[in-house]
A and B are shown apart, each in its own frame.
Chain A
Amino acid sequence: AQKITQTQPGMFVQEKEAVTLDCTYDTSDPSYGLFWYKQPSSGEMIFLIYQGSYDQQNATEGRYSLNFQKARKSANLVISASQLGDSAMYFCAIAHGFGNEKLTFGTGTRLTIIP
């Protein structure tokens, strides 16, 4: 069974600073995908970034990048130049295989951006 661990229940970051949200995972399957989602107070789940276990390079999507360290089984999310609108819950998730697999979520990190 796979497991996701997010050790930071809450973080406070000054606006315009970069922030790193930690995520470690545990799986014995060599084929998996890692996902980060943002959940604002409205409750919707917003997809941010994806990293496949066989991807050679770290994923990037605009201000979001993923620091993927496969040997350490970590997939930390880096948000550059944080904005007030980044205040939300952030969830790391893992799915096995290349299709038709459920997501397993971590406990989440509540990020608050301070003006």
Chain B
Amino acid sequence: SAVISQKPSRDICQRGTSLTIQCQVDSQVTMMFWYRQQPGQSLTLIATANQGSEATYESGFVIDKFPISRPNLTFSTLTVSNMSPEDSSIYLCSDQTGSYGYTFGSGTRLTVV
């Protein structure tokens, strides 16, 4: 299975600012997924990112707030824009390489103050 390097691992940000999270995969993957995990909650899918096309967002998530880039088959970024304390969460990226393999990045623990 693929290995995903995600950074930053954690950050403390001021409200109103933006943070970009990066995920680098050690092999080419067709699809990447971005999840949010609010404190004490489960993982919720934000969007699915294909290379060369716009990301597909889940209900409740919009591109203006969570813009995603997928410039090639090994890299993706998620930006959390105009942050508020409610955005404090763990953000995780994942790839999907066939029905068996879903690998996750190590997560970004974001605190907005």
Chain A positions near chain B (C-beta within 8 angstroms): 33, 35, 37, 42-45, 47, 50, 52, 91, 95, 97-108
B102 and A95: CB pair below 8 A?
yes
Within 8 A of A (CB), among B69-113: 90, 92, 94, 96, 98-100, 102-104, 106-107, 109
When distances are taken between beta carbons in the complex, the residues of chain A under 8 Å from B106 are 42-44
Q: Is B45's beta carbon under 8 Å from chain A? A: yes
Give A18 Cβ to nearest chain B Cβ, in Å: 25
Q: Answer whether A99 and B33 are a contact pair too, CB < 8 Å, given A45-B92, A105-B42, A105-B43.
A: no
In the complex, A108→B107 CA distance in Å? Answer: 17
Interface of B: prevailing SS: strand
In the complex, A42→B1 CA distance in Å? Answer: 21
A44 and B42: CB pair below 8 A?
no
A44 and B96: CB pair below 8 A?
no
Task: For the A-B complex with A91-B43, A95-B99, A95-B102 known, give 6 more contacts whose Cβ atoms are closer than 8 Å.
Answer: A33-B99, A43-B90, A45-B94, A50-B100, A98-B98, A105-B43
Contact with A along B51-65 (1 / 0, CB 8 A): 000000000000000
Q: Is B31's beta carbon under 8 Å from chain A? A: yes
Give A57 Cβ to nearest chain B Cβ, in Å: 15
Partner of B33, one of A33, A47, A103: A103
Give A114 Cβ to nearest chain B Cβ, in Å: 22
Give A103 Cβ to nearest chain B Cβ, in Å: 6
10 pairs of residues in contact across A and B, judged by CB atoms under 8 Å: A35-B102, A43-B107, A45-B107, A47-B103, A50-B100, A98-B98, A100-B30, A100-B96, A105-B43, A107-B42
Q: Answer whether A44 and B30 are a contact pair too, CB < 8 Å, given A33-B100, A50-B100, A97-B99.
A: no
